[in-house]
Structure 1
Amino acid sequence: MAADSAILVPQSSEDAYQLALAKNRQWASKTAKDDPALFPKLATGQHPEILWIGCSDSRCPETAILGLQPGDVFVHRNIANVIHYNDMSSSSVIEYAVVYLQVKHIVLCGHTSCGGIAAALANKRLGLLDTWLMPLRHLREQNLGLLNSLGPQEAAQKLAEINVRHGLRTLKENSIVLDAIEERGLQLHGVLYDVASGILRELDTDEPKDVIHARIHTFKTFKTEVVH
């Protein structure tokens, strides 16, 4: 009997954890058979070309929806894929990915039917999440006229798009990211994942090159003044 066929996967959904462990053994066995070099290669280190910043939503697993393998994508996920200036977690991930892993692309991904977006639109008290979602609520207030002119589903999708575009602008104000853009052509992308179809849609997030160059020059000037 083949190794993978001997692995018994629980049929009951009562214990999700045990089911997950069994599925892992099944996956590892099949993967090792289909691509014998993969796990030995991963054991030597990682060389991803993409940093993926997405939402923690269970319906948006980046490696699965991209059709890629372990080792292909470096990942950071949080509630509603929010980019905070003072968030040490995302800042650490960005620095490690850009400086040490030398990723070639940063992808910021929002998605439809996002609970964080819905919470920001509803403006209800949620506890600790209120602080986390504050940037989203600011975006809602800044675009209130537009959002109020749309139906609930369209407004949620529009705020998700606005959130991605705002997050990319924040990333482009990060000196580490700016240096990588100028020195080695790091590319930034904004996408929206449709959970109903499984399709990623690219958003128009381009900025004029002179705007980016001006920002780079500003940071260079600032760093020079600090040193002196």
Structure 2
Amino acid sequence: MAAWQMLRRLRPAAGLGRNCRSFGSPPFFPNSWVEPDALWEFHDQCERTDVAKLVDSEAWELGDRNQVWRKQMMEKDPEFFDKIGKAQSPDYLWIGCSDSRVAAENLIGGKPGELFTHRNIANMVVATDTNMRSVLQYAVDYLKVRHIVVCGHYDCGGVKAAVTRNDHSLPLESWLSHVRDVYRMHKGELEAIDCEHERHKRLVELNVIEQCLNLFKTSDVQRRRQYTASRPDEFPCALPRIHGMVFSPGDGILRNLKIDFKDKLGDFLDIYNLYDDPSLENSARLDKSVQDKNAGPGLLFEEKAIKK
């Protein structure tokens, strides 16, 4: 007996569908059972319609836009594709939000090859997220990036959703719980802010700070920082540097958050430090302009003195 036939027998006699989530009734066909053959037939019929082709053409336009972009790049720099066709060597790992308005290269006027990028909802650094951890490991161990930037943004839908009393269902609900944890840790400060808009902005900033701290917890970052800090003749300070930033879609400004990591990591390292030498003293040699809250992004992204 086929698997779908066995599931069909499990379906109650009547009345169960979307609301009850029965095994026998898929949620997209409430109160009915559709056999697999019928599903494929339905799908095949849809694919043959002119409407489906019209909808598909929306994606086909991306290819046309690619040709326009390619021509523009070739006109600006005939060797452009020869350059980016070579191995990458970015200085920065950028951990940002998946929001379509905040693509990293757009925010800094970046070029291909400048940023190694990871994006997820609400720019989270979650220890159990193998996707993020694999990106981090590759960036730190193989690309040997000098900087890691965690960039949040105001008007973040993920942050807003996390503080609403709604069940967003798995896996989104599980993901947003990490933002709720940030709210819980800073509840006193946040609830002292009367303006809902300002409270949201502060939560965005606190979330960025907590994700930066989460980076310090990882073995990848600690191992690399310990290695570089123990070799002052080769490296002027512990690398990679970690930076928290927030982008404002309303005015286009990318703001550096003034984060005193040495202060925040005092008791923190007693629990999370994996090496005898946390290298925090050597971290103080970093140019203070990088941590200037009022500095523009250029101070960070134009700094080229630190060698890999």
Q: Is the TM value for this pair above 0.5?
A: yes
Which deviations, in whole Å up to 9, do the C-alpha atoms of 1:54-85 show, x marking residues without a partner?
Answer: 00000001011110111111000000011111
C-alpha distance in structure 2 between counterparts of 1:211 and 1:78, whole Å: 25
Identity of aligned residues (%): 34
Partner residue in 1 for 2:254? 200
Q: Answer whether contact 2:226 2:275 (CA < 8 A) is retained.
A: no
Higher relative helix content: 1
Task: Give 1:149 shift.
Answer: 2.8
Partner residue in 2 for 1:120? 162
Q: Answer whether contact 2:217 2:273 (CA < 8 A) is retained.
A: no
Task: Give 1:186 shift.
Answer: 1.4
Counterparts of 1:51-66 in structure 2 under 5 Å?
51-66=93-108
C-alpha distance in structure 2 between counterparts of 1:126 and 1:196, whole Å: 27
Q: Answer whether contact 1:121 1:156 (CA < 8 A) is retained.
A: no
Task: Give 1:18 shift.
Answer: 3.2
Q: Which amino acid aligns with 1:147?
A: L
Residue aligned with 1:107, SS? strand
For residues 46 and 86 of structure 1, do their structure 2 counterparts lie closer, same or farther at Cα, with a shift above 3 Å needed?
A: same
Partner residue in 2 for 1:7? none
Superposed CA RMSD in Å reads 2.4
C-alpha distance in structure 1 between counterparts of 2:241 and 2:202, whole Å: 24
Partner residue in 1 for 2:181? 138
Quick one: which of 186, 206, 219 aligns to 2:240? Answer: 186
C-alpha distance in structure 2 between counterparts of 1:215 and 1:140, whole Å: 22
Residue aligned with 2:107, SS? helix
Q: Answer whether contact 2:92 2:114 (CA < 8 A) is retained.
A: yes
Quick one: which of 62, 68, 87 aligns to 1:26? Answer: 68
The aligned length equals 209
Residue aligned with 1:188, SS? strand
Counterparts of 1:71-86 in structure 2 under 5 Å?
71-86=113-128
C-alpha distance in structure 1 between counterparts of 2:192 and 2:57, whole Å: 45
Task: Give 1:143 shift.
Answer: 2.1
Q: Which amino acid aligns with 1:116?
A: G
Q: Which amino acid aligns with 1:188?
A: I
Quick one: which of 220, 223, 226 aligns to 2:275? Answer: 220
Residue aligned with 1:155, SS? helix
Task: Give 1:148 shift.
Answer: 2.4
Which deviations, in whole Å up to 9, do the C-alpha atoms of 1:91-118 show, x marking residues without a partner?
Answer: 0000000100111110000001000110
The yes-or-no answer on 1:68 pairing with 2:110 is yes
Instruction: Structure 2: give runs of 5+ residues left out of the alignment.
Output: 1-54, 229-238, 277-308
If the length of structure 2 is used for normalisation, what is the TM-score?
0.63
